[in-house]
Structure 1
Amino acid sequence: MNWKAVLAILTCNVVLMSASYTMLIPFLPMYLINELGVTSDNVNMWSGIIFSVTFIVSAVMAPIWGKLSDKKGRKPMAVRAGVGLAITYFICGIVSSPIQLMFARILQGFAAGLWPAELAIMSSYAPKEKLGFCMGVMQGALTAGGVIGPLLGGVLASVFGMRVSFFISAGALALITLITLIFIKEPPREAKTPEQLALAKEAEKVNLLKVPMIRRMLECAVVIQMAILILQPILTLYVAELHHSMDNVIMLSGMVFSLGGFAGAISAPLWGRYGQSHGFFRTMCITLAGTGFILIIQSIPSTLTPFAILQFVCGLFYAGVYPSINSILVKKSPAEQRGRIFGLMFAAQQIGSTIGPLVGGFIGTFFGLKFVFIFAGILMFITSALMYLKPPISRKPRKRFAN
């Protein structure tokens, strides 16, 4: 298949996937209160638990799915994840208690892995000179879905109730699965000499966590995802606090949340091009520092309008972080190991996503919601500074792995 056709199809898939996720997740606290009978005193605790259980399970499963992706193919793993997620999203829409929702989210963790599967497919088709652009477009698609999801979710929740949003998300994920089955071909594998096959088998035994560059990128992903997921469970509540009312808070939260996604959809491909020209590591450090600085400033406004403007600016910087990390990982790994690489990356993100909501709920409950933004911003800024001051050590490649 032509790489441009693959990029176009996967971009549509990722937009639908991201919209399905962000249609629901920012409003989970309100779903717990309005539909499942959780009291406002306990909503932070339940939000943290229900956010985290999915990420715990998917963190364990992601490396397993990644390894299977390398052996059985990228496309089968994408189809597996799409079917599983569609079923579990539908189940989330019919639950009647927070405990049932928690178990549905556990099943969702077993099904997860669609995003790394899509990245692995795209990285197999992307020409080397277009890698940064392709990763940027994929991230832009992810953030574009982040624009559509909260807006659509807010409208649907206000008009039809939040359960309808779960059913629509399930339908969108089923559509992604169908598109993948019909239009995407399994990425071709390069013909290898007996010597190359022997090296590839030996590479399978390599502990990727011992490769310094890969390990540092994974550590970075844990902290970044933790900082971002600290914010998601409390964003709706914080918007209500700035709005000084609970009236239309779901729709307002959707609009504010989507501003970051809209900004990211614009800037992600530009950051990809910048990284291709000036270095992905440098781009990662710049965007991390910018994101951290804006997050800290977001704790200052006491009204909704300046906070919303800063949400847009934050999205401009944040959109460059993951395309840079993904591009670094692709450049530092052989093609036959990218399923494992992206599986580990997804696992790292899930670990951060597990810790983040719990920490965010604790800080929001005992110190106030403003301090959640300050803490998240400091995490981002410190990560950028540490990576810049002590960059991963470049060594001569060993076998097919570059350190």
Structure 2
Amino acid sequence: MSWKAILSILTCNVVLMSASYTMLIPFLPMYLIQELGVPADHANMWSGVVFSISFVVSAVMGPIWGKLSDKKGRKLMAIRSGAGLAIAYFLCGIVSSPFQLMLARAFQGFAAGLWPAELAIMSAYAPKQKLGFCMGVMQGALTAGGVIGPLLGGILASVFGMRISFFIAAAALGIITIITFIFIKEPPRVEKTPEQILVAQKAEQVNLLKIPMIRRLLECAVVIQMAILILQPILTIYIAELNHSMENVVMLSGIVFSLGGFAGAISSPLWGKYGQAHGFFRTMCITLAISGIVLILQSIPDTLIPFAILQFMCGLFYAGVYPSINSILVKKSPPEQRGRIFGLMFSAQQVGSTIGPLVGGLIGTFIGLKFVFIFAGALMFLTSASMYLKPPIRKINRKKFAN
């Protein structure tokens, strides 16, 4: 099957997956209050629990599903995750209490793993000279879905109600599952010699976290995800301050947030091409450092328009970080380990997603909103400097696993 056809199908899948997720998450607090009867003064507590439980469970399950994808097949794991997420969204739409919603979100975390499964499939089909482009397009699709989701979710919630939004998201995940089942073939596995089989068996016993390059990149992913998610609890409030009014603040926040997403969707494939030509590690360091600088600069404006321009600029550069990391992992790892590696990367992102909002809320409450941007930007810049000054140069290859 043509890699271009695979890329087209998986790109559509990722847009649907990301949009389904982001069309629901911003409205969870309102769902708790309006549909599940949670008192307004308890909504923040329940929102935090419901929001975090999925990340915690998926962080635990990510490496397990990744390992199974290496053994049982990447397509099977994509189908499993797509079907499981469809069921989870449906359950979220029929719950009648916050505790039931928490359990449904926990099941969502258990079913998670569609994104790393899609990446693993694409990495197996992508030609070496097109790897960066493919990873960039996939990241752009993820970002594009993140832009479409909140806008679509707001419209659906206002017209049909929030429960219907969950059912539509479940249908979208069902469509992804059917498309994967019908059109995607299990990536071909290269026939191995007895010696290569022995190496692969030894590789399965290796603790990937003990390999310096993988460990450093996972640590980098935790910090990056934490730095971006730090902003989530305070972004709407900060935009209201810059606008000097609470009028239309939800709409303005959606527009400003979407600017970074639009920029990322545009620039991700371009960064992928740049990394292919000039090196993915170099691209990662550049985009990470400039993203950090722009985040720090976002603490300076006192009006909304300069802040929005900087948000767009941040999206342009941030979009090059994860395609570069994913491309490095693909280029430096044996094919039989990629499910495990992408599973670990997914878990690292979930850990960062859990920690980030908590840290951002604390800094914004006790120090000030501007310092959230300074802290997040400094984290990203220092991570880039650390990676550049002490690069994870050890390579992962079959000989290493055989030793």
Q: TM-score range by the shorter chain?
A: over 0.9
Deviations 1:230-269 (A, max 9, x none): 2223333433444444444433332222211110111000
Three-state SS of the structure 1 residue aligned to 2:94 is: coil
Three-state SS of the structure 2 residue aligned to 1:233 is: coil
Deviation of the 1:280 alpha carbon: 0.6
Query: Matches of 2:262 and 2:341 in 1, distance apart?
Result: 28
Farther-moved stretch of structure 1 (237-246 vs 200-209): 237-246
Q: 1:347 to 1:199 in 2, by over 3 A?
A: same
Deviations 1:262-313 (A, max 9, x none): 1011100000011111111111011111111121222233333332222211
Query: Matches of 2:63 and 2:359 in 1, distance apart?
Result: 25
Three-state SS of the structure 2 residue aligned to 1:392 is: coil
Structure 1: gaps of 5 or more residues: none
- 1:181-260 maps to which residues of 2 (within 5 A)? 181-260=181-260
Deviation of the 1:36 alpha carbon: 4.3
Deviations 1:141-170 (A, max 9, x none): 111112211221222233333333222222
Query: Matches of 1:238 and 1:40 in 2, distance apart?
Result: 21
Query: Matches of 2:398 and 2:200 in 1, distance apart?
Result: 13
- 1:12-51 maps to which residues of 2 (within 5 A)? 12-38=12-38, 42-51=42-51
Query: Matches of 1:180 and 1:17 in 2, distance apart?
Result: 12
Query: Matches of 1:29 and 1:233 in 2, distance apart?
Result: 12
Query: Matches of 2:40 and 2:309 in 1, distance apart?
Result: 28
Three-state SS of the structure 2 residue aligned to 1:232 is: coil
Q: Which amino acid aligns with 2:72?
A: K
Q: 1:25 to 1:290 in 2, by over 3 A?
A: farther
1:385 aligned partner: 385
Query: Matches of 1:222 and 1:209 in 2, distance apart?
Result: 14
Q: 1:66 to 1:142 in 2, by over 3 A?
A: same
Q: 1:178 to 1:103 in 2, by over 3 A?
A: same
User: Is the contact made by 2:334 and 2:396 (CA closer than 8 Å) also made in structure 1?
Assistant: no
2:70 aligned partner: 70
1:136 aligned partner: 136
Q: Normalization by structure 2: what TM-score?
A: 0.93
- Asked if 1:292 is matched to 2:296, the reply is no
User: Is the contact made by 2:75 and 2:117 (CA closer than 8 Å) also made in structure 1?
Assistant: yes
Deviation of the 1:400 alpha carbon: 5.2
2:173 aligned partner: 173
Deviations 1:197-240 (A, max 9, x none): 11111111111111111111111001111111222233334334
2:123 aligned partner: 123
Deviations 1:336-369 (A, max 9, x none): 1110110111111111111112222222333343
Q: Which amino acid aligns with 2:376?
A: A
Deviations 1:104-157 (A, max 9, x none): 211111010000000000001011111111101111111111221122122223
User: Is the contact made by 2:83 and 2:173 (CA closer than 8 Å) also made in structure 1?
Assistant: yes
Three-state SS of the structure 1 residue aligned to 2:192 is: coil
1:52 aligned partner: 52
Deviation of the 1:196 alpha carbon: 0.9
Q: 1:307 to 1:45 in 2, by over 3 A?
A: farther
Q: Which amino acid aligns with 2:51?
A: F
Query: Matches of 1:238 and 1:158 in 2, distance apart?
Result: 24
1:365 aligned partner: 365
User: Is the contact made by 1:55 and 1:353 (CA closer than 8 Å) also made in structure 2?
Assistant: yes
How many corresponding residue pairs?
A: 403
Q: Which amino acid aligns with 2:168?
A: I
Three-state SS of the structure 2 residue aligned to 1:93 is: helix
- Asked if 1:312 is matched to 2:326, the reply is no
2:335 aligned partner: 335
Farther-moved stretch of structure 1 (304-313 vs 329-338): 304-313
Q: Normalization by structure 1: what TM-score?
A: 0.93
Query: Matches of 1:155 and 1:195 in 2, distance apart?
Result: 58
